[in-house]
Structure 1
Amino acid sequence: MSKKILWFLRGPASAEQMALAKSVGMTIRDPNAYRIGDFIEQADGVAGDAPVAYLKAYDLIEMLRTDGPTVVEFVAAGYLAANYPPEGYESRSSAQEITDAIAEQEADIGADGKMSIAKLREILTEKGVTFDPKAKKPDLQALLDQAERAAKIADIKTQLTLKAVAFEDAATLEELQALNTPSV
């Protein structure tokens, strides 16, 4: 036996709201149609902007938003696939897509929270950094750290050049950052 949930919406329901209500088995009602003392319709719960009399009689069911990200968008924004969907949102991805995203993240990040050797090699290759194919994980991580530090130095040097700020060519990252910090 299915439960009867009354979803109270002010004004006319949109086609999307009607489709959502139908897909989850809810019945749409207008809270403005209820007057104090009116008959209270039998239901198993209410959702939306329910009148006070209905809130006293039935449990309020929290509605999940349907305009959230897909698992791919969620991961691309820097979140863990295992935490999908975000709180308060309905999933827009299939169970298989979520499982695949979790597996892909777990393959990229080891139990210690660090990148796998395969992921380090992939990133170094994308950055154009050459490395010994037999290199160990600490050596690959050191190469990646070095490449990222060199990229930061190059970026700050570009910013300083655009601001016409003089700097030593052999300046360290810390020295360049100090030059790039606006004085008070």
Structure 2
Amino acid sequence: MKKYFYSDGTNNFGPFSIEELKEKEIGRETMIWFQELGDWQKAGSIQELNDLFALVPPPIQQQSNYIQQSVGQTNPNSVIDIFLFLAIAYWFATNLITFIIEKVVDDWWDNELVTYFRIGTNIIFAAVPIVFALSVKNKILKIIALILGALLSIYFLYSNIDWLIRELS
């Protein structure tokens, strides 16, 4: 009867029959030797030991490393989401304040060239808040950002078209 030896890298164990070897917790990478083999080889490369590994899946080292890395690090997408959300909220608040000031203070800007330039660029930039909102990955923040972005875009369009009508009359 063939006798098998195995090594844990430091110590050698054996001799064992194949039935006794099945009871040991050896893996595909465990080094095995028996007299007919010559040199030590990995258990997974020895044909007659394949039955030992039929139900044992291969190691998942890469997956466990990924899990450890992801637990230890914050998701960079969530940081971007928060930044974009805060930028849109800030933009919304400052433009709301500007709207109120424009309604309260007469003749805020008197220069016609500056006025037409500002109206034109503001109408073009009316789409920017929606574009920012669409780049948010988090669903809840995206909905809030889309609402604020849409309100901001409507504000841009309304105030600039209203302004243009007043300037042309």
Q: With structure 1 as the length reference, what TM-score do the two structures score?
A: 0.24
Q: With structure 2 as the length reference, what TM-score do the two structures score?
A: 0.26
Task: Give the structure with the larger helix fraction.
Answer: 2
